[in-house]
Amino acid sequence: MPVSLNYVVKRTVWALLVIIGVIVFSYIFLYLAPGDPAYIWAGRPRGVNATIAIMNARRELGLDKPLPVQILLFIKNVFTGNMGVSIEYKQPVSVIIWRGLTATLELLIIAYLIGVSLGVLLGIYSALKRNTRLDHGLQVLAITLANAPSFWLAIGLIVALAYLTGFTGYGRVDTRLAIATGFRPITGFYLLDSLIEGNIPVFIDVLLRILPPAIIVATYPLGLGIRMARALIAETLGEEYVKAAIAWGVKRRTVIWRYAFKGTIPSLTQVLGLAFAYSLVDAMIVEIVFGREGLGSLAYHIIGKSDFPLVIGLMITVTAFYIIVNTLADILQAMIDPRVRL
Partner 1 sequence: MVLNSEPVVETRDLSIGYLDEYDRVWWVVIGVNLRINEGETYCIVGESGCGKSTLGNALIGILPPYAETRGIIRIMGEEIVRDDKHCYWKSRGRIVSYIPQNPGKALHPFMTIHVQFKHLYRARGLRLDDRGVAEKASRILELVGLDPDEVLDSYPHELSGGMQQRAAIAMAVSTGAKIIVADEPTSSLDANLRLQILKLLRKIKEELGITLIMITHDLVQASKNCERIGVMYAGRIVEEAPVKEIFRNPQHPYTQLLLETVPVLGVVKELKTIPGEPPRPGEYPPGCPFHPRCPFRIDKCSREEPVLRKINGKHYVSCWLR
Partner 2 sequence: MTIEKSRMQKRIRGIKELFSRAWKRRPVFRAGVVIALTLLFMAILGPFIAPYPSEGWGIPPATSRGAQPPSPEHPFGTDAAGRDILSRILIGAGMALFQIAVVVSVSLAIGLLVGSVAAYYGGVMEKILNYFTETFMAFPAIIVALALNSLFGRGLMVVLLSLIITWWSWYARIAYVNARSTREMEYVLLAELSGLPRYRILFRHILPNISTPVIVQAITDTGSVLLEAASINFLGLGLPTDYPDWGVLVQNGFNYIYSYPWISLIPGAFILVAALGLSMLGDSLREEMDPRLRRRWRLWF
Minimum separation from the CB atom of position 232 to partner 2 (A) = 11
Q: Is 137 in the site for partner 1 (CB under 8 A)?
A: no
Minimum separation from the CB atom of position 303 to partner 2 (A) = 6
Q: Tell me whether residue 95 or residue 246 sits nearer to partner 2 (CB atom).
A: 246
Partner from partner 1, partner 2, none contacting 152, C-beta within 5 to 8 A by type: partner 2
Instruction: List Cα–Cα distances, 302 to 60, 115, 145, 153, 298, in angstroms.
Output: 21, 31, 30, 24, 7
Q: Tell me whether residue 76 or residue 251 sits nearer to partner 1 (CB atom).
A: 251
What's phi and psi for 214, nearest 5 deg? -65, -35
Q: Is 247 in the site for partner 1 (CB under 8 A)?
A: yes
Q: Is 259 in the site for partner 1 (CB under 8 A)?
A: yes
Let me know: does 85 contact 92? Beta carbons within 8 Å: yes
Minimum separation from the CB atom of position 117 to partner 1 (A) = 21
Task: Put residue 2 in one of left, alpha, beta given phi > 0 → left and psi -120 to 50 → alpha.
Answer: beta
- x-or-dash string of contact with partner 1, 277-316, rule CB under 8 A: ----------------------------------------
If you write DSSP's letter for every residue of 49-83 in order, what string do you get? THHHHHHHHHHHHTTTS-HHHHHHHHHHHHHTT--
Partner from partner 2, partner 1, none contacting 248, C-beta within 5 to 8 A by type: partner 1
Q: Which residues pair with 92 in a beta bridge?
A: 85
Looking at residue 260, its amino acid is A
* Strand, helix or coil for residue 92: strand
Instruction: List Cα–Cα distances, 68 to 27, 44, 251, 313, in angstroms.
Output: 11, 24, 65, 20
* Strand, helix or coil for residue 85: strand
Q: Is 248 in the site for partner 1 (CB under 8 A)?
A: yes
Q: Which of 246, 274, 324, 332 binds partner 1 (CB under 8 A)?
A: 246
If you write DSSP's letter for every residue of 177-237 in order, what string do you get? HHHHTT---SSS-HHHHHHHTT-HHHHHHHHHHHHHHHHHHHHHHHHHHHHHHHHHHHHHH
Let me know: does 172 contact 293? Beta carbons within 8 Å: yes
In the chain, alpha helices (H): 5-32, 37-41, 50-61, 67-79, 93-128, 133-147, 150-165, 175-180, 190-196, 200-237, 240-247, 252-254, 262-290, 295-301, 308-336
Minimum separation from the CB atom of position 322 to partner 2 (A) = 5
Interacting residue ranges for partner 2, rule: CB under 8 A: 14, 17-18, 21-22, 25-26, 29, 33-34, 40, 127-132, 143-144, 146-152, 155-156, 158-159, 162, 168, 231, 234-235, 237-238, 246, 252, 255, 278, 280-281, 284-285, 288-289, 299-300, 302-308, 311-312, 314-315, 318-320, 322-323, 326
Minimum separation from the CB atom of position 336 to partner 2 (A) = 23
Partner from partner 1, partner 2, none contacting 259, C-beta within 5 to 8 A by type: partner 1
- x-or-dash string of contact with partner 1, 183-212, rule CB under 8 A: ------------------------------
Kindly indicate which of the ranges 8-16, 98-106, 173-181, 253-261 contains the residues binding partner 1, using the contact rule CB under 8 A: 253-261
Burial degree of 36 (CB within 10 A; 0-12, 13-18, 19+):
middle
Question: Total binding residues for partner 1 by CB under 8 A?
Answer: 22
Kindly indicate which of the ranges 144-152, 173-181, 245-253, 315-323 contains the residues binding partner 1, using the contact rule CB under 8 A: 245-253
Minimum separation from the CB atom of position 178 to partner 1 (A) = 46
Minimum separation from the CB atom of position 127 to partner 1 (A) = 14
